[in-house]
Copies of this chain bind each other. A is one copy, B any other.
Amino acid sequence: MKQRSSIIGSVEALPHRVASHLSREIEGGDIIPGARLPTESQLADKFGVSRNVVREAIAQLRADGMIEARQGIGAFVMAPEQRTAIRIDREALKDQRNMEQLFELRSILETESATLAAARCASDDLDAINAALDRMGGEERWEDGSIEADLLFHRAIARATGNSYIYTFISFVCEQIRQSIHYARLTNPLHDLVEVNVAEHVRIYDELAAHDPQAAGEAMRRHIEGAAARVGVELTAKLNRGK
């Protein structure tokens, strides 16, 4: 009794597929907050999987605070505001508009990250940032290596703020963007490899080393803007920050 026919088709694991399907139904508004989900048995039948699989799927959604299961009653979907986790749908990032918004958020975080880092960074922080810079301009010119070094650079700055949440959020956003770009490049190979602009990075580093928060933030803001443009994303409505 194995591998019965399933509605949804993909290569992913069954629980993940079920969770994604339910997640989309909830995000899409097909199931409004407060409403009760079908029973686990019904879902198992509907998706053509075992109840075990359904439970694992629900376990994921429950961990995110998207639904709440109460023994003896059922599972209910929660309001989107009280999620206990942030998760970004990679499918949604295929939409240019969403990618713009994510870049805008990144711009905000990174700009302030550079500002704070300039005011707080110690010498070992600068060393770490400089090391990433070397990897970028060094012999590691193969695409994935330079991109990796780029992420390292930004993470090192975020770490220099001394704020672990800033580090976490920036790492997360950058990683989402990176994976999305990487995926887009696979499906559309003519899209040229994203070359990192070393000059912009050096400029940022110099401002950080000079401990000039204002200038460092500004340099970072322009850099993110340029990075966005390089992957075809235009941050049209600029962030009107003090200049």
Contacts and interface: CB of A to CB of B under 8 A. Distances in A.
A85 B87 contact: yes
Given A56-B55, A86-B172, A105 B240 contact: no
Contacts of A162: 101
Nearest to A120: B237
Contacts of A81: 151, 155, 171, 175
Report whether over half of chain A's contact residues are helix, strand or loop; otherwise say mixed: helix
B104 A239 contact: no
A52 interface: yes
Given A60-B60, A63-B19, A85 B82 contact: no
Interface residues of A, number: 53
A102 interface: yes
Contacts of A57: 59
Interface string A102-125: 101100110010011001100000
A82 B239 contact: no
- Interface-central residue, A19, A151, A237, by most chain B CB under 10 Å: A237
A214 B239 CA distance: 10
A165 interface: yes
Interface of A: 15-16, 19, 52, 55-57, 59-60, 62-64, 80-88, 98, 101-102, 104-105, 108-109, 112, 115-116, 119-120, 151, 155, 162-166, 168-169, 171-172, 175, 213-214, 237, 239-243
